[in-house]
Structure 1
Amino acid sequence: MKTHKATAKRFRLTGSGKLVRTKGGKSHLRRRTSSRTAALFSEMIPVKGKGFIKRIRRLAPYMHKYRANPSTHTAK
């Protein structure tokens, strides 16, 4: 089964198994925002709603390969 690449790029799976995403609107008209407001766009927020989670897991069946922090995994 193929992975939907746009979904794989937009969502990450945490170590505890939660789906997280970044906030939208990071690039558009960013010069006008304060540095504090711009920094808030970089944080990851959890995906809510069972229907959304089910859809994302169907689009990216190999989501475990796209962890939120890949540096914590050891190479085999």
Structure 2
Amino acid sequence: MPKLKTRKAAAKRFERTGSGKIRRRKAYRNHLLQHKTATRKRRLGQKADVHERDAENVELMLPYL
């Protein structure tokens, strides 16, 4: 079997948890922050799990994650 290539853009965005799930960053935390509440910005700063249907595609992009 030849080695599989990792999608480097995806490798920078996803990580695996100890239980085997895939984590991602949340959207809407980059700009236009002055009108968002502190609670909302704090929540957006936390990581979220990738949905199980999307996780299959992420695993194809990251064969060695």
For Structure 1 versus Structure 2, the TM-score category normalised by the shorter chain is: 0.7 to 0.9
% identical equivalent positions: 32
Could you say what secondary structure the match of 2:19 adopts?
coil
Alignment size in residue pairs: 62
Distance 1:4 1:57 in 2: 10
Gap runs ≥5 in structure 2:
none
Shift of 1:49: 3.0
1:59 aligned partner, one-letter code: M
- Structure 1: which amino acid aligns with 2:57? R
Where does residue 62 of structure 1 map in the other structure?
64
Q: Provide the TM-score with structure 1 as the length reference.
A: 0.71
Task: Give the number of the structure whose residues are more often helix, by fraction.
Answer: 1
SS of the residue corresponding to residue 30 of structure 1 reads coil
- Matched residue, 1:25: 28
In the alignment, what sits opposite 1:40?
Answer: 43
4+ long deviations beyond 6 Å: none
Q: 1:10 pairs with 1, 13, 34, which one? A: 13
Gaps of 5+ in 1: 64-76
